Amino acid sequence: MPYDRRVPLISISKEQVGHFLFKWEVGAKLKSFAPVSGGFSNTNYKLELIDGRTLLLRIVQRGLTIAQTEISLLKLVSKTVPVPKIYYFDEKSIIEDLPVILMEFVEGSSAQTLKEKNEINWTQMGESIGKTLAAIHTYEFSGHGFIGNNLEIKPPPFGSEPFSYIEFCLKTRAQERLTNVSETELWKFLSQNEKLIEDFKPNNRLVHSDFNLKNLLAENGQITAVLDWEFAYSGNPLSDFGNLFRFPDQYPNDFEEAVTKAYKSHGGSLPPNWKHIASILDLSSMFEYLNTELERPKNFRIANEVIKRVITG
């Protein structure tokens, strides 16, 4: 179910692209470039060079720290998780002073596109996704929180209690946008499940935090790249399952079975009530949507539908 973009796309010129190519490799010559669809928080362009090579130019619109952290994470996981290689990084570029990254352009279609074209072998794809998630969740940090640009862990500014972020959102913008359930219903549900979330271990593993079909490139039934790591943090690995299965009716039953079986066979651990825990953890993402500064009615509607479904069953 598509959302609205978080930020507007940025247009660039051929001369600007040439500037970055020159900075990366003197003599690299551009043949063509075009925006890449998908993703809601950055602007991406596919660059085709005269010598046949292809690159991805990413304009990181959420700032320098986010860009630095993503690069550090890509380097960290590159030996076990399929991710693009980084070629060049400009911390303060000629494009609105924003960070720009030149990286490998990984061939393959997004799994979301393959789904829309009905070109997915769900069992094969599920096995590859489960294996990939298990690899991501092997990375362990010193504690729970945000990941800094040197992979240090920063405690969340809104508190470390299980639902402190939801409380923070309700005190800012989310309260007036919460429409499908009352705050009383919400807090009753959260209170009933607080100990369940609080006691779950481990809670210091690498969480991609935007792990879904649109951020997975695939070819011949295998994941070729996991994209968009800018929301990653150290926390409960079941959060990624909450994101992946946010709209469970969009998948056939054999997909879920394939994902979980492969996840376990490659070292991952899932409790019997993993779906319940994952859906609760995913509520934080829904409140992030409700708390944005921008008016995004479509996102608000989807978030409210998900919140109601999780709380009312």
Q: Where do you find CATH 3.30.200.20 in the chain?
A: 14-104
Query: Is 205 within 8 Å of 137 (Cβ atoms)?
Result: yes
Q: What is the pLDDT of residue 4?
A: 58
Query: Which residues does residue 216 pair with via DSSP β-bridges, in sequence order?
Result: 226
Query: Is 115 within 8 Å of 35 (Cβ atoms)?
Result: no
Q: What is the pLDDT of residue 39?
A: 63
Mean residue pLDDT of the chain comes to 94
Place of tokens 């066979």: 265
**pLDDT tens, position by position, 80-124:** 999 999 999 999 999 999 999 999 999 889 999 999 999 999 999
Spell out the CATH class of 109-312.
alpha beta
Q: Where do you find CATH 3.90.1200.10 in the chain?
A: 109-312
Residue 192, φ and ψ in degrees, nearest 5: -65, -25
Between CA 83 and CA 217 the distance in angstroms is 10
- Give the pLDDT band of residue 313 (cuts 50, 70, 90): confident
- Total-model pTM: 0.92
Between CA 105 and CA 306 the distance in angstroms is 33
Q: What is the pLDDT of residue 2?
A: 56
Domain covering 14-104, topology: Phosphorylase Kinase; domain 1 (3.30.200)
Q: Is the pLDDT of residue 67 over 60?
A: yes
Q: Is the pLDDT of residue 5 over 80?
A: no
